């Protein structure tokens, strides 16, 4: 989880819960694909500015924690409750069991292939990014059994490891208190299916790491990675149904390819913005304006950060040449000077890619929602109140004239 995501949990008072299932990543260690690591990247200043941390944990444990917290706060959560039909006015829906549920507003958080997205955006073309992802989690005991691999976990600081290569890239990091190792490997797209059912044996995976440093080759022998294409689906033109009573959020509104960092954080920011907007709810008439405001606040940021996410991977996979040699030389020089190599400058347009990360991490979802309310929401409420007061004066004037006519 990047800092902009953990910051939301901190605002919600959930730091201790997250801390109990996650581990804070304190540095990033980067290297070329065929050699051992040469420089480490620390981001204390950037994290202080952001107000959050990098935390690695199991997705399943995060979901369980969120479910438990929601129920503690009074939410009703059902399992095996498939939605088969949504009413035309988006004020009710029918479950597969036949039960009908009524609602003032429907939040469509059912994913990029869900019922809500199909209702709002029935035409859903997709295109490949040209990248294929291999994903695996390797138990910590298997990592610690090898002295060379154990260096990936046994460090003074919990580290994320990143390898840059010729049309290849890899990232690994320990997750949760157990310190199991999450491993991502990126290669050119070979036209495989999208999904997680294509699992490779170590023998099938070996050719992809044949030119990599020894630790990556050893990881490949321990892993049975799931292989999937990284696809891009378009953002719907409208996230809000024309009834003004259903809105798409998360991957239903802005699907991110698998294996990249910012997708889940965008979904949590969605929740934060939507909650803040609805904290100002006074009557049902406000619902459509809040939903349209939500899209207005979120769409550009999600578009920008999906592009950033994919370009970060492409940056790591850039084919060898003068550009990569210059990039590596500049990064190494910054490290030797004690500078943060994630910071771009006028001489270094490639590394300036990372400056966008600083902007991303510093974003405050609740502040954005508050700013909208102050600049637009309150104005709308005042305009409605003035209009209502004007109608009252007209009614009183009409009554006065009628009384005068009848008395004469």
- Written as one string, the DSSP assignment of 160-209 is EEEEEETTEEEEEEEETTTTEEEEEEEEE--S--SSS-EEPPHHHHGGGG
- Quick: pLDDT tens for 246-266: 999 999 999 999 888 899 999
How many whole angstroms from its chain centre is CA 234? 16
Domain boundaries, the chain: 3-366
What's the mean per-residue pLDDT of the chain? 86
pLDDT of residue 51: 77
pLDDT of residue 401: 42
pLDDT of residue 405: 44
Contact (CB, 8 A) for 124 and 111: no
- Does an H or E element contain 128, and which? strand 126-138
- Does an H or E element contain 392, and which? helix 378-407
pLDDT of residue 321: 79
Contact (CB, 8 A) for 116 and 245: no
List, for the chain, all residue ranges whose pLDDT scores fall below the cut of 70.
34-47, 193-196, 335, 337-355, 357, 385, 387-408
Collect contacts of 237-242 with beta carbons under 8 A, ≥24 apart. Answer: 237/121, 238/120, 238/121, 238/295, 239/120, 239/291, 239/294, 239/295, 239/298, 239/299, 240/120, 240/288, 240/291, 240/292, 240/294, 240/295, 241/90, 241/119, 241/120
Return the SS3 of 316.
helix
Helices (H) and strands (E) in the chain, counts: 15, 15
- Name the residue with tokens 């804070």: 24
Options 3.30.300.130, 3.40.50.10800, 3.40.50.150, 3.50.50.60; CATH for 3-366 is 3.50.50.60
Contact (CB, 8 A) for 164 and 47: no
pLDDT of residue 247: 98
pLDDT of residue 402: 45
Give the separation between CA 359 and CA 340, rounded to whole angstroms: 16
pLDDT of residue 389: 58
Contact (CB, 8 A) for 293 and 376: yes
Give the separation between CA 396 and CA 408, rounded to whole angstroms: 19
pLDDT of residue 394: 45
pLDDT of residue 256: 94
């Amino acid at each position: 989880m990047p800092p902009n995501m953990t910051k939301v949990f901190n605002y919600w008072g959930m730091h201790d819960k997250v801390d109990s299932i996650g581990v804070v990543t304190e540095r990033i260690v980067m290297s070329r694909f065929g050699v051992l690591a040469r420089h480490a990247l620390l981001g204390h200043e950037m994290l202080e500015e952001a107000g959050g941390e990098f935390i690695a944990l199991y997705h399943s444990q995060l979901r369980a924690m969120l479910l438990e917290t929601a129920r503690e706060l009074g939410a009703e959560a059902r399992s095996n409750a498939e939605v088969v039909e949504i009413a035309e006015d988006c004020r009710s829906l029918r479950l597969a069991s036949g039960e009908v549920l009524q609602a003032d507003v429907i939040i469509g958080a059912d994913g990029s292939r869900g019922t809500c997205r199909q209702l709002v955006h029935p035409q859903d073309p997709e295109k490949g990014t040209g990248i294929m992802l291999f994903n695996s989690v390797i138990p910590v005991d298997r990592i610690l059994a090898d002295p060379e691999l154990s260096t990936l976990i046994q460090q003074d600081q919990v580290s994320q490891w990143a390898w840059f290569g010729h049309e290849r890239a890899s990232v690994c990091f320990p997750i949760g208190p157990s310190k199991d190792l999450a491993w991502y490997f990126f290669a050119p797209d070979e036209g495989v299916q999208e999904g997680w059912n294509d699992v490779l044996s170590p023998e099938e995976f070996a050719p992809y790491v044949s030119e990599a440093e020894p630790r990556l080759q050893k990881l490949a022998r321990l892993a049975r990675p799931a292989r999937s294409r990284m696809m891009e689906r378009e953002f719907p033109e409208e996230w809000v149904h024309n009834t003004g009573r259903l809105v798409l959020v998360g991957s239903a509104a802005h699907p991110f390819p698998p294996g990249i960092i910012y997708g889940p954080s965008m979904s949590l920011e969605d929740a934060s913005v939507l909650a803040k907007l609805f904290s100002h709810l006074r009557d049902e008439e406000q619902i459509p304006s809040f939903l349209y405001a939500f899209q207005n606040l979120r769409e550009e940021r999600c578009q920008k950060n999906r592009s950033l996410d994919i370009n970060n991977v492409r940056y790591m996979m850039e084919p060898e040449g003068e550009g990569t040699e210059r990039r590596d030389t500049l990064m190494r020089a910054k490290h030797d000077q004690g500078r943060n190599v994630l910071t771009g400058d006028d001489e270094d347009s490639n590394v300036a890619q990372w400056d966008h990360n600083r902007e991303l991490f510093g974003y405050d979802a609740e502040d954005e929602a508050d700013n909208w309310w102050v600049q637009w929401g309150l104005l709308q409420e005042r305009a409605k109140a003035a209009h209502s007061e004007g109608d009252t004066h007209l009614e009183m004037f009409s009554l006065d004239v009628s009384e005068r006519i009848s008395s004469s």
